[in-house]
């Protein structure tokens, strides 16, 4: 009962904290005044009256504190006072505060970043109405060998069958598992957009409302090609359409097909699967026209749809799955080749990460989360050490406060408040850092991969950061607070601080050694990757990337014949060559180092393939006249393709030197023939030139044999124009963009960019690894250095009395300095040795990423530890120097 009453009083006083403080003061001063008045009435002079009143009253401050404590008016007030005092204390030593806040901010940033990804993938519910009632429908293969193979997507006819006949579901919709990259033609140029084909009732099943306009009607998805409607995403509408209020009803041309925008999705909805954030949603029935594939909807052997459904009331997921299984068997049976049982259907909760992948993602992010939490704990341990150093110096202050009447609880609360403030500061910085980091990671993904990881910082992430900062503050603040207030009043005011237990300091030393070792390993790996990256950039890929522009084109959308296509191609090249500043232009089916690759086996005239092979292997390209000159590849023998090599003339080919050496060693390949298919005359191609060997798929590959056929002798409907320009690329880029339109108004180039940008894709793995490892290494460095700094500061604080005595007994400053310095350096030394050993053992894991530098490259393995040693020395030297500068008398007296 008392507890309840006092709790109520505490809560009430929390709100009126000022009033209670004022009330107490008023009451006590009333008493004093009354006494003073009475004293004056008995004849005392006023100042004596006041003094007497005070004397009779007792210690005003202590009594005031006691009253406040009893009244329970303290909580809110005291906390506010603590915060103000804490901020002042932090401001008094800005250097240490900055170091601590920075190291904490890195650790907290790492945690927040990982959590934001976990949130986006695993925690955040799907942004639809009643997400817990939404289910994903997958195919189930009960006898599959692995988890990934157990689940499959639906073909379009099979899911249509389910939609038509399912009784247990209120509605079944479907969406493509992967988005399609399409070309959006606007303002005379083509731009890549990600589009997703969905069923007509997709948005209805999701039960969301459009931001503008409307969504598809079920009847718009019945007959192919009849309803060219498109729904755009909010991001697309805002960024690419300029948030135009008149967008609904306007036209959008995708892959040459004109569509009408009927609505804009709400801002919170970017799709129902993580990392798939399409710009547009299109009805399934429009796919045949847009993908130029009339049988798209009727094919039984392509499985790419995932079902999405809501169940009828009182129907459980198990019942629904059973019914759908029956329907699936029904559908599959007439077409089963053997009598094997067909696949089943299964319902899974519709979450951002689909069921089959969820387990892997959970394991992976769990591991990541564990790793960054470990980093945070290490940062806490470091900070605790630093705080202990400061606490030891403040013991006298605590003793004085205790003597003046503060209870131990109060003191601990104040110290904890300081720690939490420091942690919150680190947390705030960490949040900013993490926001920047998340954006950086999202941007690392090359734009032509259909993955977009949009990570938002919603309330969950903010709450997580706040909570983790609070807990961090409490963790690293507890030990120093308790130690610091453990005052035996008399002895502390007289004596010096006692040492901490040997066990603890050994643990701390071990921790520091470990941190330095880990930091060294990370930095060495990062340095190796960094050097690989630089080496890779200077590798000769067999062509020149400078002063070249590429532009993709696709004639499929024009619906022309092979002859017309060839004519268009020739005209495109001719038109581009007339642009001022263009030296030459040429065609190719695709560029090396891209995502496409075509290769095949050919038969060689007069040669048998090795037993077991079907033929001779070549990478395949189809290039136009003057390609090698345009792209800067050296022709070693023979000639390039010319305009004379057209359809109907002798079919010609060019090979590279690697092919010549491998398949015609010691001979002249010019004039030889190879066969694209069986060795018949109609499949024959004559070799007319040999070009230098370059690199085609990755920068670190072994020489590959390559075969070039002539673009104008094939039936290519799409490809890339490579243009060799002079001078600044800006004007040329714009002119090239316009060139396509002049050949045909419906034509537009897409992905017009300098060749260098394209080549950057090949550097992606090594670039990313060096960035990531470098980042981790840097974080490790900050932590290790701050830890070392803390350890040395603490031992300095502990031993300052000893230092004073030594100096009073005649030791020189530099002896003292050396004493303290060497202690820290020993730790650093052990750490470096341990790290070097570990690195020698583990960097071989990076071998596949390394390029031009060995996994135990001596230069790196000497330079990096030396730099680290230098930094560690500095971290040891600064606090040691500070201690050695102290006047020995002061050191002896203050402790």
Partner 1 sequence: MAASKSELLQGTLDLLILKTLTTGSMHGYGIVQHIQHRSDDVLVVEEGSLYPCLYRMEEKGWIAAEWGKSENNRRAKFYSLTRAGRKQLAEETALWERICRAISLVLQTA
Q: Check residue 3 for interaction with partner 1 (CB under 8 A).
A: no
Which CB atom, from 1 or from 164, has the smaller least distance to partner 1?
A: 1
By CB under 8 A, the residues from 687 to 726 that bind partner 1 are none
Cα pseudo-dihedral 213, 218, 222, 228, rounded to 10: 0
In whole angstroms, the minimum distance from the beta carbon of 73 to partner 1 comes to 10
Question: How many other C-beta atoms can be found within 10 angstroms of the C-beta atom of residue 715?
Answer: 12
The rounded distance, in Å, linking the Cα atoms of 853 and 382 is 35
In whole angstroms, the minimum distance from the beta carbon of 57 to partner 1 comes to 4
The rounded distance, in Å, linking the Cα atoms of 888 and 895 is 11
Which CB atom, from 56 or from 341, has the smaller least distance to partner 1?
A: 56
The set of residues, in sequence order, having a beta carbon less than 8 Å from that of 827 and lying 6+ positions away, is: 509, 512, 513, 516, 788, 791
Considering only the stretches 26-34, 136-144, 628-636, 668-676, report the one whose residues sit in contact with partner 1 under the rule CB under 8 A.
26-34
In whole angstroms, the minimum distance from the beta carbon of 824 to partner 1 comes to 48
The rounded distance, in Å, linking the Cα atoms of 420 and 851 is 47
Residue 833 sits at the vertex; the CA angle it makes with 828 and 837, to the nearest 5 degrees, is: 145
For every residue of 386-451, DSSP letters joined together read HHHHHHHHTHHHHHHHHHTT--HHHHHHHHHHHHHHHHHHHHHHHHHHHHHHHHHHHHHS-TTSS-
Q: Check residue 27 for interaction with partner 1 (CB under 8 A).
A: yes
In whole angstroms, the minimum distance from the beta carbon of 67 to partner 1 comes to 5
The set of residues, in sequence order, having a beta carbon less than 8 Å from that of 122 and lying 6+ positions away, is: 351, 352, 353, 358, 361, 362, 365
Q: Is 427 exposed, middle or buried (0-12, 13-18, 19+ CB in 10 A)?
A: buried
In whole angstroms, the minimum distance from the beta carbon of 22 to partner 1 comes to 11
In whole angstroms, the minimum distance from the beta carbon of 71 to partner 1 comes to 5
Residue 563 sits at the vertex; the CA angle it makes with 559 and 564, to the nearest 5 degrees, is: 45
Taken as a whole, the chain contains a residue count of 895
Say how many residues touch partner 1, by CB under 8 A.
26
Question: Using H for helix, E for strand and C for coil, what is the string for 470-537?
Answer: HHHHHHHHHHHHHHHHCCCHHHHHHCCCCCCCHHHHHHHHHHHHHHHHHHHHHHHHHHHHHHHHHHHH
Please choose, from the candidates 103, 93, 91, 90, the residue with its C-alpha nearest in 3D space to the C-alpha of residue 788.
103
Question: How many other C-beta atoms can be found within 10 angstroms of the C-beta atom of residue 85?
Answer: 14
Which CB atom, from 19 or from 298, has the smaller least distance to partner 1?
A: 19
Both tokens assigned to 874: 């500095």
In whole angstroms, the minimum distance from the beta carbon of 68 to partner 1 comes to 9
By CB under 8 A, name the one of 18, 26, 318, 506 that touches partner 1.
26
What are the DSSP E strand ranges found in 555-705? 582-588, 599-604, 616-623, 635-638, 652-656, 673-675, 684-691
Which CB atom, from 67 or from 500, has the smaller least distance to partner 1?
A: 67
Q: Check residue 30 for interaction with partner 1 (CB under 8 A).
A: yes
The 31-50 contact track toward partner 1, x by CB under 8 A, reads: x-xxx-x-------------
Provide the 3-class DSSP secondary structure of residue 361. Answer: helix
Please choose, from the candidates 217, 213, 179, 214, the residue with its C-alpha nearest in 3D space to the C-alpha of residue 197.
179
The 544-583 contact track toward partner 1, x by CB under 8 A, reads: ----------------------------------------
Both tokens assigned to 279: 């710009």
Please choose, from the candidates 458, 443, 451, 455, the residue with its C-alpha nearest in 3D space to the C-alpha of residue 277.
451
Which CB atom, from 9 or from 240, has the smaller least distance to partner 1?
A: 9
In whole angstroms, the minimum distance from the beta carbon of 46 to partner 1 comes to 17
The 50-89 contact track toward partner 1, x by CB under 8 A, reads: ------xxxxx--x--xx--xxx-----------------
In whole angstroms, the minimum distance from the beta carbon of 26 to partner 1 comes to 7
Q: Check residue 454 for interaction with partner 1 (CB under 8 A).
A: no
Which CB atom, from 63 or from 892, has the smaller least distance to partner 1?
A: 63
Which CB atom, from 33 or from 132, has the smaller least distance to partner 1?
A: 33
Considering only the stretches 3-11, 473-481, 618-626, 675-683, report the one whose residues sit in contact with partner 1 under the rule CB under 8 A.
3-11
Both tokens assigned to 566: 């060839």
By CB under 8 A, the residues from 411 to 430 that bind partner 1 are none
Which CB atom, from 67 or from 326, has the smaller least distance to partner 1?
A: 67
The set of residues, in sequence order, having a beta carbon less than 8 Å from that of 557 and lying 6+ positions away, is: 183, 255, 256, 257, 292, 746
Which CB atom, from 74 or from 769, has the smaller least distance to partner 1?
A: 74
Q: Check residue 409 for interaction with partner 1 (CB under 8 A).
A: no
Which CB atom, from 27 or from 647, has the smaller least distance to partner 1?
A: 27
Helices then strands (H, E): number in the chain? Answer: 28, 23
In whole angstroms, the minimum distance from the beta carbon of 85 to partner 1 comes to 24
Q: Is 598 exposed, middle or buried (0-12, 13-18, 19+ CB in 10 A)?
A: exposed
Backbone angles phi, psi at 13, to 5 degrees: -70, -20
Both tokens assigned to 593: 């180092």
By CB under 8 A, name the one of 25, 28, 451, 545 that touches partner 1.
28
In whole angstroms, the minimum distance from the beta carbon of 66 to partner 1 comes to 4
Which CB atom, from 25 or from 178, has the smaller least distance to partner 1?
A: 25
In whole angstroms, the minimum distance from the beta carbon of 54 to partner 1 comes to 9
Indicate the helix (H) or strand (E) that contains 752: strand 750-754
Which CB atom, from 4 or from 245, has the smaller least distance to partner 1?
A: 4
DSSP β-bridge partners for residue 175: 198, 306
Which CB atom, from 70 or from 601, has the smaller least distance to partner 1?
A: 70
The set of residues, in sequence order, having a beta carbon less than 8 Å from that of 542 and lying 6+ positions away, is: 592, 633, 692, 693, 694, 695, 696
In whole angstroms, the minimum distance from the beta carbon of 58 to partner 1 comes to 4
CA 371 to chain centre: 15
In whole angstroms, the minimum distance from the beta carbon of 77 to partner 1 comes to 15
By CB under 8 A, name the one of 2, 167, 187, 313 that touches partner 1.
2
Q: Check residue 490 for interaction with partner 1 (CB under 8 A).
A: no
Provide the 3-class DSSP secondary structure of residue 189. Answer: strand
In whole angstroms, the minimum distance from the beta carbon of 30 to partner 1 comes to 5
Q: Check residue 6 for interaction with partner 1 (CB under 8 A).
A: yes
Please choose, from the candidates 704, 709, 705, 662, the residue with its C-alpha nearest in 3D space to the C-alpha of residue 683.
709
Which CB atom, from 2 or from 167, has the smaller least distance to partner 1?
A: 2
Please choose, from the candidates 204, 196, 128, the residue with its C-alpha nearest in 3D space to the C-alpha of residue 163.
204
Which CB atom, from 57 or from 80, has the smaller least distance to partner 1?
A: 57
Which CB atom, from 63 or from 761, has the smaller least distance to partner 1?
A: 63
Residue 885 sits at the vertex; the CA angle it makes with 880 and 887, to the nearest 5 degrees, is: 130
Which CB atom, from 3 or from 745, has the smaller least distance to partner 1?
A: 3
In whole angstroms, the minimum distance from the beta carbon of 41 to partner 1 comes to 12
Which CB atom, from 60 or from 148, has the smaller least distance to partner 1?
A: 60
In whole angstroms, the minimum distance from the beta carbon of 2 to partner 1 comes to 7
In whole angstroms, the minimum distance from the beta carbon of 405 to partner 1 comes to 11
Binding-site ranges for partner 1 (CB under 8 A): 2, 5-6, 9, 23-24, 26-28, 30-31, 33-35, 37, 56-60, 63, 66-67, 70-72
């Amino acid at each position: 009962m008392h507890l309840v009453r006092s709790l109520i009083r505490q809560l009430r006083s929390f709100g009126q904290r000022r009033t209670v403080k004022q009330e107490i003061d008023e009451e006590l001063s009333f008493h004093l005044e009354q006494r003073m008045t009475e004293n004056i009435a008995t004849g005392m002079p006023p100042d004596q009256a006041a003094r007497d009143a005070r004397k009779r009253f007792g210690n005003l401050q202590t009594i005031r504190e006691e009253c406040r404590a009893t009244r329970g008016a303290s909580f809110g007030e005291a906390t506010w006072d603590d915060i103000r005092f804490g901020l002042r204390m932090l401001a008094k030593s800005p250097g240490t505060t900055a170091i601590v806040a920075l190291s904490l901010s890195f650790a907290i940033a790492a945690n927040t970043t990982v959590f934001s990804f976990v949130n986006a993938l695993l925690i955040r519910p799907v942004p639809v109405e009643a997400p817990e009632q939404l289910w994903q429908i997958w195919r189930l293969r009960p006898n599959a060998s692995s988890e990934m193979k157990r689940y499959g997507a639906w073909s379009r006819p099979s899911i249509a069958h389910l939609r038509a006949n399912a009784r247990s579901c209120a509605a079944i919709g479907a969406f493509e598992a992967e988005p399609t990259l399409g070309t959006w033609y606007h303002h005379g140029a083509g731009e890549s957009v990600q589009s997703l084909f969905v069923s007509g009732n997709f948005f209805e099943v999701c039960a969301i409302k459009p931001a503008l306009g409307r969504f598809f009607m079920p009847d718009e998805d019945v007959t192919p090609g009849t309803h060219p409607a498109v729904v755009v995403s909010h991001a697309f509408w805002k960024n690419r359409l300029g948030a135009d209020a008149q967008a609904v009803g306007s036209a959008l041309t995708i892959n040459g097909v004109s569509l009408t925008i009927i609505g804009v999705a709400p801002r919170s909805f970017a799709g129902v699967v993580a990392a798939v954030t399409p710009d547009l949603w299109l009805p399934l029935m429009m796919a045949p026209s847009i993908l130029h594939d009339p049988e798209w909807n009727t094919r039984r052997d392509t499985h790419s749809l995932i079902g999405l459904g809501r169940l009828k009331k009182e129907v459980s997921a198990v019942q629904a799955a059973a019914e759908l299984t029956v329907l699936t068997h029904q559908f599959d049976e007439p077409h089963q080749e053997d009598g094997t049982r067909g696949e089943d259907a299964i319902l899974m909760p519709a979450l951002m990460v689909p069921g089959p992948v969820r387990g892997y993602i959970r394991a992976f992010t769990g591991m990541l989360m564990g790793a960054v939490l470990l980093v945070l704990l290490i940062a806490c341990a470091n900070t605790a050490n630093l705080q202990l150093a400061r606490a030891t110096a403040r013991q006298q202050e605590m003793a004085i406060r205790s003597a003046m009447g503060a209870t131990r609880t109060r003191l601990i609360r104040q110290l904890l408040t300081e720690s939490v403030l420091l942690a919150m500061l680190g947390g705030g910085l960490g949040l900013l850092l993490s926001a920047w980091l998340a954006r950086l990671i999202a941007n690392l993904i090359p734009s032509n991969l259909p993955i977009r990881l949009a990570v938002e910082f919603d309330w969950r992430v903010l709450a997580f950061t706040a909570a983790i900062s609070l807990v961090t503050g409490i963790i690293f603040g507890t030990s120093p607070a308790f130690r610091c207030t453990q005052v035996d009043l008399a002895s502390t005011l007289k004596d010096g601080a006692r040492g901490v237990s040997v066990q603890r300091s050994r643990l701390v030393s071990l921790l520091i050694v470990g941190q330095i070792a880990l930091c060294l390993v990370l930095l060495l790996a990062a340095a190796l990757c960094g050097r690989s990256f630089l080496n890779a950039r200077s590798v000769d890929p067999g062509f020149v990337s400078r002063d070249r522009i590429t532009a993709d084109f696709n004639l499929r959308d024009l619906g022309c014949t092979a002859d017309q296509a060839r004519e268009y191609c020739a005209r495109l090249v001719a038109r581009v060559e007339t642009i001022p500043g263009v030296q030459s232009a040429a065609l190719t089916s695709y560029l090396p180092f891209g995502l496409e690759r075509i290769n095949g086996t050919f038969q060689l005239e007069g040669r048998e393939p090795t037993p077991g092979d079907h033929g001779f292997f070549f990478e395949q390209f189809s290039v136009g006249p003057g390609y090698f000159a345009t792209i800067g590849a050296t022709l070693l023998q023979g000639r390039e393709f010319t305009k004379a090599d057209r359809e109907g003339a002798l079919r010609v080919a060019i090979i590279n030197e690697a092919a010549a050496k491998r398949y015609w060693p010691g001979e002249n390949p010019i004039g030889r023939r190879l066969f694209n298919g069986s060795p018949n005359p109609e499949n024959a191609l004559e070799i007319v030139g040999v070009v230098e060997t370059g690199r085609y798929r990755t920068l670190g590959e072994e020489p590959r044999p390559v075969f070039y056929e002539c673009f104008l002798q094939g039936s290519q409907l799409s490809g890339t124009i490579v243009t060799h320009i002079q001078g600044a690329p800006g004007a040329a880029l714009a002119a090239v963009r316009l060139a396509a339109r002049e050949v045909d108004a419906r034509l537009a180039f897409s992905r017009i960019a300098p060749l260098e940008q394209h080549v950057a894709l090949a550097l992606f793995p090594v670039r990313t690894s060096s960035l990531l490892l470098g980042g981790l290494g840097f974080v490790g460095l900050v932590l290790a250095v701050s830890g070392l700094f803390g350890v040395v500061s603490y031992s300095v604080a502990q031993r300052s009395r000893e230092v004073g005595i030594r100096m009073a007994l005649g030791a020189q400053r530099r002896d003292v300095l050396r004493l303290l310095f060497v202690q820290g350096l020993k730790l650093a030394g052990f750490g470096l040795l341990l790290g070097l050993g570990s690195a020698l053992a583990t960097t071989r894991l990076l071998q596949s990423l390394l390029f031009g530098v060995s996994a135990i490259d001596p230069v790196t393995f000497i330079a990096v530890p030396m730099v680290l040693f230098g930094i560690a020395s500095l971290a040891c030297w600064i606090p040691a120097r500070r201690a050695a500068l102290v006047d020995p008398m002061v050191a002896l007296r203050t402790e």
